[in-house]
Structure 1
């Protein structure tokens, strides 16, 4: 029962509803909150359902329902309900028929992390051709980070250094001196140092 109450109280922390264009943000919030409470292992499949029936050395499998099984199913159903409560109407369609929180999580990942090769190429091109324009430095770096996150979500590696180079290339000529200094460095620059240099 304690777990049940704890799960219900998590809903207030999950402020993002999943829709077609926010899977990375939604799954980050959902995973972070559930990991905090040691409940995310139901979604990853690391928490395995105990046997339904009690096993004894004398009788083997009995007709008695295992208490651990009942408790696990109750928690898993509560977690599945919690997951469903954070989905938009369109996203719910992808989990209809799922019997466990792991099945539902896997179905959502399969649906939302599939990005075609042309889309990956488009994102990479966007990363390398993005211009700062009239944006503030913070907004510009956030736009670049969003593309990096989208690429990483589909298994494409984008290092901090790649992001710094892409950011440097999109800066206007006022930043020529900083660009020259950073490109000439022997050691890589962290994103924090890079951000500080641009202020």
Structure 2
């Protein structure tokens, strides 16, 4: 998994380098909350990564991380799990 993440410059999404943007921002013209384009972009990439990671997991391991909703949460859970430590 790591070679794919590094080759596509995506490791930063699971390694806390990419800060999750706020879901909404204030529109300067209307002074109202609108969807943040940066969050939309981040969310698309994150969900793609989440799908890739989940696709590599066994059924038993997937069951341990099924309730986690971001690639970073799943990655952190997997890397800190005693089942994956050598």
2:49 pairs, out of 66, 79, 91, with 79
The reply on whether 1:103 has 2:73 as its aligned counterpart is yes
2:40 is matched with which residue?
A: 70
TM-score by length of 1: 0.39
1:35 Cα offset (Å): 0.7
Runs of 5+ unmatched residues, structure 2: none
Q: Which runs of 5+ in 1 are unaligned?
A: 1-29, 114-149, 151-199
Larger radius of gyration: 1
Q: Distance in 2 between matches of 1:96 and 1:77?
A: 13
Deviations 1:28-83 (A, max 9, x none): xx112211110011111211111111235673xx3210111111111101110010
Q: So what's the TM-score if we normalise by structure 2?
A: 0.84
- The counterpart of 2:12, out of the listed 5, 21, 41, is 41
Contact 1:94 1:108 in 2 (8 A): no
Q: Tell me which stretches of 4 or more aligned residues in structure 1 moved more than 6 Å.
A: none
What is the CA–CA distance in structure 1 between the aligned matches of 2:61 and 2:18, rounded to whole Å? 24
Aligned equivalent of 1:24:
none
Equivalenced residue count is 83
The structure with the greater share of residues assigned to helix is 1
Cα RMSD (Å): 1.6
Task: Give the whole-Å Cα distance in 2 for the aligned partners of 1:63 and 1:57.
Answer: 9
